[in-house]
Structure 1
Amino acid sequence: MSHWTTRIPAAAQAYLEAHRLDEVECVIADLPGIARGKAVPAAKFDRLTHFHLPNSIFYQTITGDWGEDAASDGFTEPDMILRPDMDTATAAPWASDGTLQVIHDAYDQKDVPVPTSPRNVLKRVVALYKARGWTPVVAPEMEFYLVGRNIDPAKAIEPMMGRTGRPAAARQAYSMTAVDEYGPVIDDIYEWAEVQGFEIDGITQEGGAGQLEINLRHGDPVKLADEIFYFKRLIREAALRHDCFATFMAKPIEGEPGSAMHIHHSVLDKAGRNIFTGPQGGETDAFFHFIGGLQEHLPEAVALLAPYVNSYRRYVKDHAAPINLEWGRDNRTTGIRIPISEPSSRRIENRIAGMDCNPYLGIAASLACGYLGLTNEAWPDKRFHGDAYEAEDAIPQGLYAALDLFDEAKALHEVLHPEFARVYSVVKRAEYGEFLQVISPWEREHLLLNV
């Protein structure tokens, strides 16, 4: 049998030609999208076919606490079996010694995929498409901020210091001069992405102070979610190397635009043709059904696309984030946008998802809404013309309201997996309870002496 290093992507093989392999990081994404796992010496990884972690990693909140009620058979923390997907092997180019990262898939002790694993959730949704003879294609956009080092949670987050010695400026969307302000960080992002074998479609300055956007090439949903999972770590490491932080919070700086993970979708048939486009280049019923599914089911899925209390600070009228589920052509004020494209590459953009969402769950939720629209032949509302900020609000006003909608969405649960839906709700409600224990500066300022 060939050595495992002969079965990994070309970029990883090229990295090993230049570096002696010292360590392999065996990783898996938990519910928030944090990398969990083990780092093992390369010699030991040679002998491994799998390793074990307790299933409780999927019961953890973002604070590291536990939604213990998520364990339906009692909080006994049985081991899962984690097996490597060697197609995901990639370098950790910031490491001082030769290091590879490998994403693993989670199975229970009966060799059944663990339904609460976010990567398994996305694989399940993609498999439902495949069973219908469809291949979903996505192209995500990643927005994030480069900010000054912040080691005091009580202190407001501030933009990073640029090369001119001035803080990064706001309201400079698409400015090349603004991008140059943090050129060294971007240079490392480009270099490390190339080493890891990731293709960046472009980097632009967004409207916020120190806010950037990276566009990724369209492709397989699982592969793109893997890349975003890896990219978040890559970008954080590049920022730390230059004495700043990278943050993927939905709304890190008061008064600045939030950060989104816009998701572009198309669907191919067995012949590789875009089902959104007919033989004469026109829009098909499937095109409208997908939009109808997004309009009908996205409110139920917002708890996955906006998973934290901070997420809902992004949905502010007239502030570069949609608060509606209207659809329009080349209209960035609508929650569902149809970009300009050739008929063969016709696609539908979901602008609701925040960059703080787990990429596996965000993409899975968006595809699940479209899938329900396709299978149920949902029809959308009429196309919206004009400024959709004047349209009716359609986003739940806060995490708790979003979870109430999610809990009632039984059709969505069947697509994602009912057990995942149950566990996700338990964990997020436990997390919300933790948040309520914290007294904010606003409360101290306005309530201490006034009520």
Structure 2
Amino acid sequence: MDWLREHPEVKTIRVAAADLNGVPRGKRIPARFADKVMTEGTKFPFSVLNMDIWGEDIENSPLVFESGDPDGMLLPTERGFMPMPWLDAPTGLLPLWMFHPDGRPYAGDPRQALARVMERYKAAGLTPVVATELEFFLIDDSGKTLRVPPSPRSGKRRTGAETLSLRALDTFDSFFTQLYEACEAMDIPADTAISEAAPGQFEINLMHQSDALKAADDAWLFKLVVKGLARGAGFAGSFMAKPYELWNGNGMHMHFSILDHEGRNIFDDGGDLGTDVLRHAVGGCLEAMPGSTLIFAPHENSYDRLVPNAHAPTGIGWAYENRTAAIRIPSSGPAARRIEHRVAGGDVNPYLTIAAVLGAALNGIEDKAPCPPAFSGNAYEQGLNQLPGTWAEAIDAFAAAPSIRRIFPPELIENFVMTKRQELHYMAELSDEETVELYLDTV
């Protein structure tokens, strides 16, 4: 409540939690009732965190008619209030997560799923250090064809890729200035911005931190602020996996190392190769990759990104300092030895993605999982086992994978599978234009 007392100009608040697709679900409340939300929480039906991408109930879900569509209890996360700089009126946002009325965490909440993985790490005396890199497009979607927005400075549209171009960044300098100011106000550790390998595509890194829940919060909130500020500037900010057929898609790369109880990086062997524990973690990630592809590519459009020679991995393999690999070990000083997981698209739910990667790594560490040799060269030419190639295959793999059952609770697995099978069915009715319209702002 300190933040609200320091900002008496705030007259309304939003309270919100992430559903399984990462879509914020919540309420608008007059600020004078904020004390009640902070002390007592608020209620949503459990089914609200298990909606499909259109915001519809899941047919035959046990959360709806079978059980009477009961309420869960939504309580504030550790984050507390923060501003919503993309709205015209001063407004506060209070992130929530879901519990049962008796205080038990609700297993179908994606943030609770990550907290569950973190309890496993805590029991093992380990602490993951996590960073994310988020790619997004700035898009003019006012006409029938998606285009790069005109430069606010020159009025011209850039038509080609300008990888690491300062000119491309400076073209939208006012937007990026607002974005960094918003991230500062919301305590999102936004670091370096670059222009990426497609027109109007950019990437911003979020700094590494030893609180994986906050790292996931930061990624989720970052997506909200990019979308909100972009719309305020007259264009879309989109994390859709593949908005343009002829250009590369958006990814969310995740870096992580793991500290022991004395704060030492357990991947650091003092040299360039890393420890056996690093290779066990890699082995766990590779073993879980087919089953977890649905987490990393959760939508129909996601599979347009996962194609050969498009800077997105398709093969299940790992390598040192190789961006064609699904898992890359970046060059660094030994103390910073880490794993970069490169499969996830920009359209993911960050809570589920970070939970899937960290859970798979811990599976590998616990099992002392074998790790195949690192490859050299182009991953697309290695003859590697492949990720599921279609959405339907990924749903089936997720539903059946033993590694997934070690990471996620049964209720979340069942809910996510039902959600994705319903979406798969109804997406078949949409045209390409309707698909883009659906995903452009939603994910």
Q: CA deviation at 1:26?
A: 1.0
Are 1:32 and 2:21 matched, yes or no? yes
Q: CA deviation at 1:34?
A: 1.0
Partner of 2:408: 416
C-alpha deviations, 1:18-70, integer Å up to 9, x for none?
A: 65231221110011111111121121111332110001112211012221323
Are 1:192 and 2:182 matched, yes or no? yes
Q: CA deviation at 1:380?
A: 1.4
Q: CA deviation at 1:257?
A: 0.4
Find the residue that maps to 1:161 and give its secondary structure: coil
Aligned partner (choices 402, 405, 408) of residue 394 of structure 2 = 402
Partner of 1:132: 124
**How far apart, in 1, do the equivalents of 2:238 and 2:13 lie?**
26
Find the residue that maps to 1:68 and give its secondary structure: coil
Partner of 2:335: 344
Equivalent residues in 2 for 1:302-341 (5 A)?
Answer: 302-341=293-332
Are 1:271 and 2:272 matched, yes or no? no
**How far apart, in 2, do the equivalents of 1:284 and 1:186 lie?**
39
Check whether the contact 2:216–2:354 (CA below 8 A) recurs between aligned residues: yes
Are 1:175 and 2:165 matched, yes or no? yes
**How far apart, in 1, do the equivalents of 2:266 and 2:25 lie?**
38
> AA paired with 2:373?
K
Q: CA deviation at 1:313?
A: 0.4
> AA paired with 2:131?
A
Check whether the contact 2:198–2:247 (CA below 8 A) recurs between aligned residues: yes
Find the residue that maps to 1:230 and give its secondary structure: helix
| 1:440/1:27 CA distance change after superposition, 3 Å | closer
**How far apart, in 1, do the equivalents of 2:5 and 2:276 lie?**
49
Check whether the contact 1:300–1:402 (CA below 8 A) recurs between aligned residues: yes
Check whether the contact 2:113–2:408 (CA below 8 A) recurs between aligned residues: yes
Are 1:46 and 2:38 matched, yes or no? no
Aligned partner (choices 64, 73, 77) of residue 55 of structure 2 = 64
Query: How many aligned residue pairs are there?
Result: 428
Find the residue that maps to 2:66 and give its secondary structure: coil
Taking every aligned residue pair, what percent have the same amino acid on both sides? 34
TM-score (norm 1): 0.91
Find the residue that maps to 1:232 and give its secondary structure: helix
**How far apart, in 2, do the equivalents of 1:102 and 1:394 lie?**
41
**How far apart, in 2, do the equivalents of 1:24 and 1:165 lie?**
36
Are 1:99 and 2:88 matched, yes or no? no
| 1:437/1:166 CA distance change after superposition, 3 Å | same
Find the residue that maps to 1:218 and give its secondary structure: strand
Check whether the contact 1:84–1:105 (CA below 8 A) recurs between aligned residues: yes
Partner of 1:21: 10
Check whether the contact 1:70–1:427 (CA below 8 A) recurs between aligned residues: no
Find the residue that maps to 1:309 and give its secondary structure: coil
C-alpha deviations, 1:327-384, integer Å up to 9, x for none?
A: 1111111111011111111100000000100011111111111111111111211111
Check whether the contact 1:59–1:68 (CA below 8 A) recurs between aligned residues: no
Partner of 1:247: 238
TM-score (norm 2): 0.92
**How well do the aligned residues superpose, as a CA RMSD in angstroms?**
1.9
Aligned partner (choices 417, 429, 433) of residue 425 of structure 2 = 433
